[in-house]
């Protein structure tokens, strides 16, 4: 990226220099803070979650025009894009893998497989479709992802599911015309996306927690997600002025029990070195804080032994669930050139038993058979003992034509009537099907939503190059507010740093879940070349060559019709033809068509066949075989 | 101006001055070991590279390895990411079939990960189409295209265009779905010439019957090399049994071997590059085309196309910077402690779940 070409170390040095040269103040005119945090949680069944959060909080308002003219920690490449397209909130996630809610609980930042982008534009903006199209192009260049495929065929404006997560006036947050949502489930995330994402960080990947990013290990994981979240926030508790928050998150889940197979069998032991193949040597000097939180709630000490021992152990409650966090201040641990490699040893092997599932989780799959019709079914599990209202959102591409009348919600055979429904049917080649349902899940129940669709025939130019792979359908998004904080790890809406989730006293937890994305086959023509070539070639041979061959190799030979022996059929034919040929002149030489092969025969007995021309006298003229061939060869 | 040379004072001055410059440069040249030829022939000011892999599917791993190897060489020799348009039609590194995630190797010894840590792919997946490729070359892109996806060359740019994939006599297959013909490609280059989008271009292609792709070129200042003649197939080099596919093509393998020995200040020439893969190694005959190129390839440095021009000015004295303070760096208006307008009403966060629970 052109904007980030300067040597990174020099830029850090310059920034550090600039910062430290300021007198103690008198507030800096650009007042932003940067912090980096790492949250490690050991999950059930041998997995370990690592969640990196890099937060830049800037005391400036997005409505102010001079905000995006001067930058310090906030990346200029991103700021230019946000200012040009008048973006109020931007949430981009690029993910590889599916989060396993049933066994792992809830992630700090939820993301569907592939790419998901939702943006709220500022209220003064107009011509939003055009702005959206340009914004996705600009972001595709910035993040090296083909986001430019997020056009009208894949973009929707969900009415209730994606409210602004930052500060917003009420009239604004209820008007979904200001926002756009699109997802590309097929989009891959690899080092080529990590590279530009890293370059937006103030310290890039040279120093600090980002120096742990080893692509070879990050992409060899069970789940990997890059997130970028930009929103306006309150500057302080009184919330009289607005600020800007930019949160870059990287979530990765390693299966450490598998990695330990050769060494300590079935133990979940992990260390920073074993997970990332790197240890931490330093922290970002621009970060105001650099912390590591290890969540040992599932395997509390003495089951887990951490080395070095934590600076602080926090025992808190979140929504009724007891949590235990070990906190490390990385600036202390890496000062003086020391290396920090956190190691965790577990006293016992991993138990692959039943896991307490989270309050709400879902599964979605394709039903039906054949290439004409199909169905989508989503099963939602409510493990709480209270009613739970959920908003279920689906975005189905236009070529799977959903029947609104077939949408059924039922729990144990009893139909559930949705409280609200929002359905916008799709238009061929311009708009996808958009469905949002609000309904209530009963306590401790399993609810099933199902719908049917017809598969469309695409035009042959609309198939992608690997058409037989199938077509992807976006994940369904399920939003709910949980009364219990069980397995909930996200940062609360009023907080910014991950630290704010540790001291969260709220009683309600907003949850957004993404289900599996689906892969559906459409009736695909056979694009294989040999098949087409064989068909075409055989047709050509059969029709063209056969006729030509006949025309060029047959000769005309006259035959005396009187002398030919007639069988009844031929006599009938002759009779019929005789009727017709009454009008024809008698001078015509009528002959019979003689096959080259049959020429011999006809020379011998040319009275056998007759072309049916009777009546008028015919001068018998036989053409010899030799002449025929000469004619043919000369023509 | 004491040289008694003759005719007029003005003439004397000019003559003497030019003689001085000539002698000076010659001395410098001799002192630094640069040949006088080089000093006068390198007249481009920037370098660009367009590297295209047109093949999709896992069994075409070697084409992605080809293009990433050239990308790596070109970056190493100095062309920055902002001047490289990299088009990769499929994802091999993070492909679920790749037993070594986030890596692409071009050799069975798996020493060099050509995918690397710092890779920026500009066009990927379904975006690699004939239309996009021609648009990139000719510059006729929609206005919303970001900078990193544009070829912003001018008449002083040297461009390296490298293409690899499956090809035939007169065409190159894009993603198993469409083809670019040699005539289209020749016309694209002519458009570039007419629009003054290149100073010199080096076209390198590694496909079957690759020579056919450059036979139709008719624009000046193009140097071209292909891995095989018309009627011949370019072959792949070797299999990596751990990955399970062929990892590199022969021509690119030997070309890479040559390029790995090239440093940014190397004096190797394009003529040497043309002789890189003899028939004994490549099995196919490497073909090249020099009739459209005015200079002798044996006198053109390889870094003219693979490396980047960097104008370096050496300073011998130390410059000290004075201490900056905010007052010095900002203007009067912005330095005033701007208290953000305190809105009279209380701001609040939007309600995330607008339904009665």
Contact call for B340 and A61, based on CB within 8 A: yes
Evaluate whether B150 touches B156 at the Cβ level (below 8 Å). Answer: no
Query: Are the Cβ atoms of A138 and B144 closer than 8 angstroms?
Result: yes
Residues 32-61 of B with CB under 8 A from A: 56-57
Q: What share of chain A is helix, strand, coil (3-state, %, to 5)?
A: 25, 30, 45
Interface residue of B68, B114, B325, B352 to substitute, partner A, most A CBs within 10 Å: B352
CB atoms within 10 A of CB B135: 18
Question: What DSSP string runs through A147-189?
Answer: GGG-STTTEE--SSS---SSB--HHHHT-GGGEEEEEETT---
Query: CA of A225: how far to CAs of A52, A93, A222, A252, A361, in Å?
Result: 10, 7, 10, 6, 19
| Nearest residue to A513 via CA among A473, A478, A474 | A478
Please tell me whether residue B217 adopts helix, strand or coil conformation.
coil
Q: Helix (H) and strand (E) counts for chain A?
A: 16, 29
Is B208 annotated in the active site? yes
- Tell me the pLDDT band of A605, cut-offs 50, 70 and 90: very low
Q: How many CB atoms lie within 10 A of CB B32?
A: 9
- Which one of A133, A191, A239 has the shortest CB-CB distance to B93? A191
How confident is the model at residue A6, as a pLDDT? 44
Helical H segments across chain B, by residue range: 9-32, 36-41, 61-76, 130-138, 182-194, 211-214, 250-260, 270-274, 279-282, 303-306, 326-329, 332-335
| pLDDT on residue B151 | 95
What are the tens digits of pLDDT across the range A371-395? 999 999 999 999 999 999 999 999 9
- Beta carbons of A191 and B115 less than 8 Å apart: yes
- The active-site residue out of B44, B63, B83, B166 is B166
Question: In 3D, which of A52, A189, A182 has the Cα closest to residue A114?
Answer: A189
What is the pLDDT at residue A594? Answer: 42
In the three-class reduction of DSSP (H, G, I as helix; E, B as strand; rest coil), residue B181 is classed as: strand
Between chains, do A141 and B93 touch, taking CB under 8 Å as contact? no
| DSSP 8-state symbol, A248 | E
Torsion of CA A6, B138, B68, A92, to 10 degrees: 60
Q: Let me know if B335 is a catalytic residue.
A: no
Pairwise CA distance, residues B85 & B121, whole Å: 7
pLDDT digits (tens, 9 = 90+) for A326-342: 999 999 999 888 999 99
* Cβ <8 Å between A188 and B102: no
Note whether A195 contacts B117, CB cutoff 8 Å: yes
> CB–CB of B94 and A190 under 8 A?
yes
Q: Is B327 on the interface with A (CB under 8 A)?
A: no
Chain A residue at shortest CA distance from B143: A134
User: How many residues are listed for chain B in this entry?
Assistant: 357
**Interchain CB distance below 8 Å, B102 and A215:** yes
Report pLDDT for A619.
46
Answer for the pair A396, A436: CB distance below 8 angstroms, yes or no: no
Min Cα–Cα distance to chain B from A381, Å: 17
Candidates A469, A275, A259; CA nearest to B96 is A469
Name which of B10-14, B58-62, B163-167 the model is least confident about.
B10-14
Q: Give residue A493's pLDDT.
A: 92
What pLDDT is attached to residue A259? 82
Give the number of other CB atoms < 10 A from CB of residue A604: 9
Rounded Cα–Cα distance for residues B118 and B102 (Å): 11
Average pLDDT (B80-88) is 95
* Closest CA relative to residue A556, chosen from A613, A489, A475, A504: A613
Chain B positions touching A137 (Cβ under 8 A) are 142, 144-146
Q: Is B223 helix (H, G, I), strand (E, B) or coil?
A: strand
Strands B46-53 and B84-88: parallel
User: How much is the pLDDT for A29?
Assistant: 59
Asked which of A137-146, A583-592, B8-17, B164-173 is least confident by mean pLDDT, the reply is: A583-592
Q: What is the pLDDT of residue A170?
A: 85
How far apart, in whole angstroms, are the C-alpha atoms of residue A301 and residue A346? 9
Q: What is the pLDDT of residue A628?
A: 41
Q: How many CB atoms lie within 10 A of CB B13?
A: 13
Dihedral sign, CA of A79, A81, A84, A86? Answer: negative
Q: A584-587 long-range contacts, Cβ below 8 Å, gap at least 24?
A: A584/A616, A585/A616, A586/A615, A586/A616, A586/A617
Q: Do A391 and B355 touch (CB under 8 A)?
A: yes
Residue A98 pLDDT level (bands cut at 50, 70, 90): very high
Q: In this structure, are residues A496 and A245 in contact, taking their beta carbons and an 8 Å threshold? A: yes
Predicted local confidence at residue B15, as pLDDT: 63
**Tens digit of each residue's pLDDT (9 = 90 or more) over B94-130:** 999 999 999 999 999 999 899 988 999 999 999 999 9
Query: Given a cut of 50, is residue A614 above it in pLDDT?
Result: no
Task: Report the interhelical angle of A191-198 vs A128-143 (nearest 10°).
Answer: 100
Task: Quickly list DSSP for A506-546.
Answer: -S-EEEEEE---EEE--------HHHHHHHHHHHIIIIIIH
Q: Quick one: average pLDDT of A226-244? A: 91
Rounded Cα–Cα distance for residues A346 and A348 (Å) = 6
Please report the pLDDT score of residue A609 as a whole number: 42
| Amino acid A266: pLDDT | 77
What are residue B224's phi and psi, to 5 degrees? -135, 145
The pLDDT value recorded for residue B23 is 62
The region of weakest confidence among B39-43, B152-156, B279-283, B317-321 is B39-43
Of B124, B142, B349, the CB nearest to A493: B349
Confidence class for position B292, pLDDT limits 50, 70, 90: very high
pLDDT at A549 (0 to 100) = 87
Task: Determine contact, residues A506/A493, Cβ cutoff 8 Å.
Answer: no
A415-446: pLDDT as tens digits? 999 999 999 999 999 999 999 999 999 999 99
**Would you say B49 and B79 are in contact if contact means Cβ atoms under 8 Å apart?**
yes
Peptide bond into A302 cis (omega under 30): yes
Q: Which residues in chain B touch residue A494, judged by CB atoms under 8 angstroms apart? A: 349
pLDDT of residue A7: 47
Q: How confident is the model at residue A111 (pLDDT cuts 50, 70, 90)?
A: very high
- Which chain B residue shows the shortest CA-CA distance from A440? B357
The model's confidence at residue A481, banded by pLDDT at 50, 70 and 90, is: very high
CA of B307 to nearest chain A CA: how many angstroms apart? 17
Residue with tokens 């200001």: A178
Q: What three-state secondary structure class fits A474?
A: coil
Classify residue B199 by its DSSP letter.
S
- How many Cβ contacts (< 8 angstroms) between chains A and B? 184
pLDDT at A27: 39
Residue A244's pLDDT is: 94
Directed axis angle between helix B130-138 and helix B182-194, to 10°? 20
pLDDT above 50 (res B37): no
Residues of chain A positioned with their CB less than 8 A from the CB of B349: 165-168, 233-234, 493-494
Comparing A2-11, A343-352, A429-438, B71-80, which segment has the lowest mean pLDDT?
A: A2-11
> Between chains, do A144 and B350 touch, taking CB under 8 Å as contact?
no
Contacts of A330 (CB under 8 A, 6+ apart): A209, A280, A283, A290, A291, A292, A340
For domain B46-306, which architecture applies?
A: 3-Layer(aba) Sandwich (3.40)
Average pLDDT over residues A396-409: 95
Residue B99, chain A, CB below 8 Å: the answer is no
State mean pLDDT over B199-225.
94
Flag whether residue B110 sits within 8 Å of chain A, measured between CB atoms: no
Q: Confidence band (pLDDT; 50, 70, 90) for B312?
A: confident
What does the mean pLDDT of chain B come to?
85
Residues A45-81: tens digit of each pLDDT: 889 999 999 999 999 998 888 889 989 999 999 999 9
pLDDT at A624: 41
In the DSSP assignment, the letter for residue A295 is E
The answer, yes or no, to whether residue A601 has pLDDT greater than 90, is no
B229 touches chain A (CB under 8 A): no
Supply the pLDDT for residue A169: 87
Over the stretch A24-49, which tens digit does the pLDDT of each residue have?
333 345 688 999 999 999 998 889 99
| Cross-chain Cβ contact A188/B175 below 8 Å | no
Sorted by sequence, the CB contacts under 8 Å of residue A62 that are 6+ apart come out as A82, A88, A122, A232, A242, A244
Contact list in B for residue A195 (CB cut-off 8 A) is 117-120
Taking residues A171-175, what's their average pLDDT? 89
Q: Which of B44, B83, B199, B208 is catalytic?
A: B208
Calculate what percentage of chain B has a pLDDT beyond 90: 62
Judge whether residue A1 has pLDDT over 50.
Answer: no
Q: What is the pLDDT of residue A613?
A: 42
pLDDT score for A141: 94
A274-300 pLDDT, tens digit per residue, is 999 999 999 999 999 999 999 988 888
Residue of B nearest to A62 (CA): B340
**A308 upstream amide cis, omega within 30 of 0:** yes
Q: What distance in Å separates the CA atoms of residue A446 and residue A377, rounded to the nearest whole number? A: 13
Report pLDDT for A298: 85
**Using CB atoms within 10 A of its CB, is residue B142 exposed (0-12), middle (13-18) or buried (19+)?**
exposed
CA dist., res. A214 & res. A217, Å (int): 6
pLDDT cut 70: percent of chain B above it: 82
Mind listing the pLDDT tens digit for each residue in B64-79?
999 999 999 999 999 9
Q: Are A172 and A63 in contact (CB under 8 A)?
A: no
Which range, of A178-192, B21-35, B39-53, averages the lowest pLDDT? B21-35
Higher pLDDT, B118 or B11: B118
- Give me the percent of chain A exceeding a pLDDT of 90: 61
User: What's the whole-number mean pLDDT along residues B214-235?
Assistant: 92
């Amino acid at each position: 990226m052109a904007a980030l070409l300067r040597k990174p170390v020099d830029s850090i040095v310059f920034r550090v220099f600039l910062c430290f040269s300021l007198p103690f103040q008198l507030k800096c005119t650009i007042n932003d803070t940067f912090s980096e945090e790492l949250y490690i949680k050991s999950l059930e069944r041998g997995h370990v979650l690592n969640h990196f959060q890099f937060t830049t909080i800037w005391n400036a308002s997005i409505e102010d025009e001079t905000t995006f003219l001067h930058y310090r920690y906030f990346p200029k490449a991103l700021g230019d894009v946000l200012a040009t397209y008048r973006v109020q909130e931007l949430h981009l996630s690029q993910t590889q893998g599916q989060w396993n809610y049933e066994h792992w609980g809830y992630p700090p930042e939820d993301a569907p497989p592939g790419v998901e982008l939702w943006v709220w534009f500022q209220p003064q903006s107009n011509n939003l479709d055009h702005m959206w199209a340009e914004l996705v192009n600009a972001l595709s260049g910035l993040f090296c992802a083909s986001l430019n495929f997020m056009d009208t065929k894949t973009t929707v404006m969900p009415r209730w599911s994606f409210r602004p997560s930052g500060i917003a006036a009420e009239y604004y947050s209820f008007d979904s015309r200001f926002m756009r949502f699109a997802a590309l489930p097929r989009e891959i995330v690899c080092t080529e996306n990590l590279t530009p994402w890293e370059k937006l960080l103030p310290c890039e990947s040279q120093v600090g927690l980002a120096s742990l990013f080893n692509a070879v290990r990050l992409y060899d994981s069970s789940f990997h997600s890059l997130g970028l979240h930009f929103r306006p926030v309150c500057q302080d508790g009184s919330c009289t002025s607005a600020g800007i928050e930019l949160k870059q998150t990287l979530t990765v889940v390693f299966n450490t029990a598998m990695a330990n197979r050769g060494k300590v069998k079935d133990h979940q032991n992990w260390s920073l070195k074993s997970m990332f193949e790197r240890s931490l040597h330093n922290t970002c000097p621009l970060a105001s804080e650099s912390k590591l939180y290890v969540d040992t709630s599932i395997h509390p000490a003495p089951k887990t032994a951490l080395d070095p021992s934590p600076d602080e152990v926090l025992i808190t409650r979140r929504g009724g669930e007891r949590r235990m966090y070990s906190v490390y201040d990385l600036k202390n641990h890496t000062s003086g050139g020391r290396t920090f490699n956190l190691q965790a040893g577990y006293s016992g092997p991993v138990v692959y038993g039943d896991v307490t599932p989270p309050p709400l989780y879902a599964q979605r799959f394709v039903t039906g058979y054949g290439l004409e019709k199909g169905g989508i079914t989503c099963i939602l599990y409510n493990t709480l003992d209270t009613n739970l209202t959920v908003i279920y959102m689906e975005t189905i591409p236009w070529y799977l034509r959903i029947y609104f009348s077939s949408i059924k919600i039922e729990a144990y055979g009893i139909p559930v009537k949705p409280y609200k429904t929002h359905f916008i049917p799709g238009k061929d080649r311009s708009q996808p099907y958009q469905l949002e349902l609000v309904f209530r899940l009963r306590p401790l129940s399993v609810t099933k939503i199902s719908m049917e669709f017809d598969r469309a025939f695409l035009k042959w130019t609309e198939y992608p190059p690997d058409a037989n792979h199938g077509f992807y359908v976006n994940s369904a998004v399920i939003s709910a507010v949980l009364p219990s904080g069980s397995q909930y790890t996200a940062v609360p809406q009023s907080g910014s740093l991950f630290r704010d989730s540790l001291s969260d006293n709220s009683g309600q937890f907003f949850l957004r879940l993404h289900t599996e994305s689906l892969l559906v086959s459409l009736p695909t023509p056979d694009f294989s070349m040999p098949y087409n070539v064989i068909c075409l070639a055989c047709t050509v041979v059969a029709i063209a060559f056969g006729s030509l061959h006949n025309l060029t190799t047959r000769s005309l030979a006259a035959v005396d019709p009187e002398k030919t022996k007639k069988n009844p059929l031929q006599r009938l034919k002759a009779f019929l033809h005789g009727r017709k040929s009454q009008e024809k002149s008698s001078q015509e030489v009528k002959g019979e068509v003689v096959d080259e092969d049959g020429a011999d025969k006809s020379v011998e007995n040319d009275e056998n066949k007759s072309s049916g021309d009777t009546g008028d006298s015919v001068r018998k003229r036989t053409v010899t075989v030799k002449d025929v061939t000469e004619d043919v060869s000369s023509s | 101006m004491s040289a008694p040379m003759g005719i007029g004072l003005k003439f004397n001055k000019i003559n003497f001055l030019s003689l001085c410059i000539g002698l000076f440069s010659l001395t410098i040249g001799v002192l630094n070991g640069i040949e006088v030829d080089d000093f006068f022939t390198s007249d481009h000011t920037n370098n660009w590279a367009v590297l295209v892999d047109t093949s999709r599917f896992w069994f075409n791993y070697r084409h992605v390895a080809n293009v990433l190897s050239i990308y790596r060489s070109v970056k190493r020799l100095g062309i920055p990411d902002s001047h490289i348009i990299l088009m990769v039609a499929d994802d091999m590194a993070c492909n679920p079939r790749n037993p070594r995630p986030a890596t692409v190797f071009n050799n069975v010894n798996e020493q060099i990960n050509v995918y690397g840590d710092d890779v920026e792919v500009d066009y990927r997946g379904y975006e690699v189409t004939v239309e996009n490729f021609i648009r990139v070359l000719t510059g006729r892109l929609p206005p919303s295209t970001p900078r990193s996806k544009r070829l912003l060359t001018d008449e002083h740019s040297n461009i390296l265009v490298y293409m690899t994939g499956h090809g035939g006599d007169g065409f190159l297959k894009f993603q198993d779905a469409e083809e670019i013909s040699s005539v289209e490609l020749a016309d694209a280059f002519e458009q570039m010439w007419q629009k003054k989008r290149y100073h010199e271009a080096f076209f390198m292609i590694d496909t079957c019957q690759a020579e056919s792709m450059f036979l139709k070129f008719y624009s000046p200042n193009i140097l071209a090399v292909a891995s095989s003649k018309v009627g011949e197939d370019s072959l792949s080099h070797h299999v990596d049994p751990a990955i399970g596919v062929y990892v590199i093509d022969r021509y690119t393998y030997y070309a890479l071997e040559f390029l790995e020995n090239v440093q940014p200040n190397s004096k190797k020439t394009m003529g040497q590059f043309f002789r890189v893969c003899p028939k004994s190694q490549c099995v196919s005959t490497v073909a090249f085309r020099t009739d459209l190129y005015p200079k002798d390839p044996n006198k053109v440095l390889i870094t003219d196309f693979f490396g980047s021009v960097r104008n370096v000015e050496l300073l011998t004295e130390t410059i000290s910077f004075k201490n900056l303070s905010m007052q010095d760096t900002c203007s009067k208006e912005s330095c005033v402690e701007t208290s953000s307008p305190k809105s009279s009403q209380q701001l609040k966060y939007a309600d995330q779940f607008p339904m009665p629970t």
